[in-house]
Structure 1
């Protein structure tokens, strides 16, 4: 999910950069790119992933 948010932020930053637009004094394309990189880094670190409990196969023998 964080990777998707990062991709959306990168797309928004690209559109703002191509249009040479600014949202405000503090929010510009570089700020949005930094937020996108943060989301991708968190995704790669494993933040926001669900813990798998009780799933998968086991080594129990069937009788």
Structure 2
């Protein structure tokens, strides 16, 4: 999920950089790039990711009997 948000943020930052514009408060394309890199780092660290097996609460998947 964070990777998708990071891609959107990178796209906004890219457009701001191409148009050479700034949003009020000094926010520019570089700010969006750094925010996108932060989101990608969080995604790589495993924050904000969920798998189907994690919904059951058993990290091993099926238990052996």
Q: Please report the TM-score for the alignment, with normalisation by the length of structure 2.
A: 0.78
Moved segments of 4+, more than 6 Å: none
Give structure 2 stretches of 5+ with no counterpart: none
Which sits farther off after the overlay, 13-22 or 45-54? 45-54
In our comparison, the structure showing a higher alpha carbon Rg is: 1
Give the total of aligned pairs. Answer: 60
Give structure 1 stretches of 5+ with no counterpart: none
Q: Secondary structure at the match of 2:23?
A: coil
Q: Secondary structure at the match of 1:4?
A: helix
Q: Please report the TM-score for the alignment, with normalisation by the length of structure 1.
A: 0.80
